[in-house]
Structure 1
């Protein structure tokens, strides 16, 4: 992808966010935030006294996070003078469907799955989002077919998933549907929903779209959790601060990532996605006292990160006089590669 994104705003932000040093620092910061969500969610379960089998309360916990994150994004959008209420019935229906799938359904699987596996495994397994996106795009878009490079990346990634779930024996895989299985299902749902989000984002502002879908999806999670008997009674200053952090994490990371995508070529930004499982596993090991130094975890991490790098890196130009490819200014087209 070679065509730079043209903006109508001031040139100073474009000059600032396109600086290599700024790109590296902010993209790494976003990946650090997303990686920190894995141990933060598990710590939240402990602080709020949510038992492993208490699925309704997990939904309430997730619902509060995304309602708050959606409100934060909409406030930022309003302060940026973006049109918040310029929606017709078709737009509203699209946003509700996107929020139901990308936030509500996906996080039902993600929050439950993370309760039944370690943060280290969860962060590595959730990286399969990138590979599902590549496979789905192959069948949906004529100009996004699987290349040998992408195929090699997918193969490395799924081998990494197999390695991290290997038991003591060569063919002894520690894989539970409620744990590792639900994490992988969440990754697939996010990939499919993100492709739908890419389509509808062509007709509306990405920040407004994301704010509404997060808010609606969070409201669905809250309603479902409370309707099935969920509750979060033990709110303290510490647990409230953690919930606030998770909400700010979602809003801040997406906003910064969107700015980087706006002022840089897509491939220059998405290559940093491989840092999410790196930070996720490291922070889980530090915060949750999980053992990251097992050989299979280290091998799996290298394989998954290598696969993501192969899938997301931009191909080199064949000729300096080649016709530039057209890229969409839509930030959503790359969101499927991280999701947290």
Structure 2
């Protein structure tokens, strides 16, 4: 009885998380949550007295957020009877590497880059995460190849991100290593780490993996922030509530995202990242009581949605005969493991 429970549960999860409606709903929810972090983080900086170029204090703030988010996920994992303490040394090392890259290193590059470029360029360049993910998946997964339809869908999404930022700052060509270069590096690190996390999630429960990687990555950020001179002023009930919200949204979004990546091709999931800056712009405007019903915002949303539809739409004639996804170098079929 016990031996058959896991395969059955795995098949049920595969059927659930690969349903197009479920994929769209959960991926959009993740991007909505991440988009809401833009205004929430800015409000948090104001409440804690963190100045624009005070990168060390920003790292401390982000570190607290992710440590708390990881603990929230681990508590729910424990309540769900997940195997929290059954990681082998190899698996534990892999999770720590994931947390170090996806949470810590990626945010260090992102925050430093953002301090040396405009928010508009940062938002646009950060959306290259989707391109990197699609390209990497093309070389690592047999049934996640880059096609003209996927390429055009990604291009539409990227144009949508540019449209939503048009007029908010200068878009003339400029490139520096510490600015735009670090943003692109952060995008590449995030995409590579996400694919690596997909691999790990085949061996480790996604909730357990997410909890440990967030907590460890957050701890690295806290240590790095304090070591480089970061400080935070006394917390208030408002700043604590905001920190709690940021931690909660991270715990929910990263857990759902890990589950979606485990059971779906990388390109079908990561294309939704184009929604993050759109949601971020709209929610920031709402928090600042600005007009959000602008033509550019609506046009951008249409472009992004069309791009997502092109990437996630499966060809009808080939869907029934699609081969299981197998990562290069991995001999297990994707019915049991997609990476």
8 Å CA contact 1:31, 1:272 repeated in 2: yes
Displacement of 1:145 after TM fit?
2.2
- After the TM superposition, which of the residue ranges 210-219 and 91-100 deviates more from structure 2? 91-100
Equivalences for residues 183-222 of structure 1 within 5 A: 183-222=183-222
Does 1:315 pair with 2:338? no
User: Structure 1 residue 30: deviation in Å?
Assistant: 3.2
* Aligned mates of 1:11, 1:91 — CA distance in 2: 23
The aligned runs of 1:297-336 (5 Å cut-off) are 302-311=302-311, 313-318=312-317, 322-326=320-324, 328=334
Q: Is this contact kept in 2: 1:119–1:284, CA < 8 A?
A: no
Q: How far is the alpha carbon of 1:120 from its aligned partner?
A: 6.7
The answer as to whether partners of 1:66 and 1:214 remain within 8 angstroms in 2 is yes
CA drift of 1:183 comes to 3.8
Aligned alpha-carbon RMSD (Å)? 4.1
Instruction: Give the whole-Å Cα distance in 2 for the aligned partners of 1:226 and 1:170.
Output: 34
Match of 1:98 in 2: 98
Judge conservation of contact 1:103–1:217 (CA < 8 Å) in 2.
Answer: yes
Moved more, 192-201 or 181-190: 181-190
Q: Structure 1 length as normaliser, TM-score?
A: 0.77
Counterpart contact for 1:160–1:303, Cα < 8 Å: yes
Q: Secondary structure at the match of 1:51?
A: coil
The gaps in structure 2 that reach 5 residues or longer are: 1-5, 326-333
CA contact under 8 A between 1:121 and 1:281: conserved in structure 2? no
Match of 2:151 in 1: 151
Identify the residue that residue 62 of structure 2 maps to in structure 1: 62
Distance 2:121 2:292 in 1: 9
Write the mapping of 1:35-184 to structure 2, written as runs, cut at 5 A: 35-114=35-114, 123-160=123-160, 172-173=172-173, 181-184=181-184
Deviation of 1:308 after TM superposition, in Å, equals 4.0
C-alpha offsets along residues 51-91 of structure 1, whole Å, 9 cap, x if unaligned?
Answer: 11111101100100000011111111111111111122211
Separation in structure 1 between the aligned mates of residue 34 and residue 338 of structure 2, nearest angstrom: 16
* Cα distance, 1:144–1:272 mapped onto 2, change above 3 Å: closer
Would the alpha carbon gap of residues 158 and 260 (structure 1) be closer, same or farther in structure 2, given more than 3 Å must change? Answer: closer
The answer to whether the 8 A contact 2:164-2:300 is kept is yes
- Is there any run of 5+ residues in structure 1 with no aligned partner, and where? 1-5, 334-340
1:181-234 residue CA offsets vs partner (Å, 9 max, x unmatched): 544332221001111222222211111111111111000000000111101113
- Native 8 Å contact 1:35 1:123 kept in 2: no
Q: Which deviates the most, 71-80 or 291-300? A: 291-300
**Structure 1 contact 38–122 (Cα < 8 Å) conserved:** no
Mapped partners of 1:51, 1:307: distance in 2: 37
Judged with a 3 Å threshold, the aligned counterparts in structure 2 of structure 1 residues 261 and 186 are, in CA distance, closer, same or farther, namely closer
Contact 2:133/2:191 (<8 A) preserved: yes
1:285 Cα deviation from its structure 2 partner: 1.8
What does residue 240 of structure 1 align with? 240
1:231 corresponds to 2:231? yes
TM-score with structure 2 setting the length = 0.77
Greater displacement, 283-292 / 255-264: 255-264
- Preserved CA contact (<8 Å) 2:107 2:186: yes
Whether the 8 Å contact between 1:114 and 1:122 is mirrored in structure 2 is yes
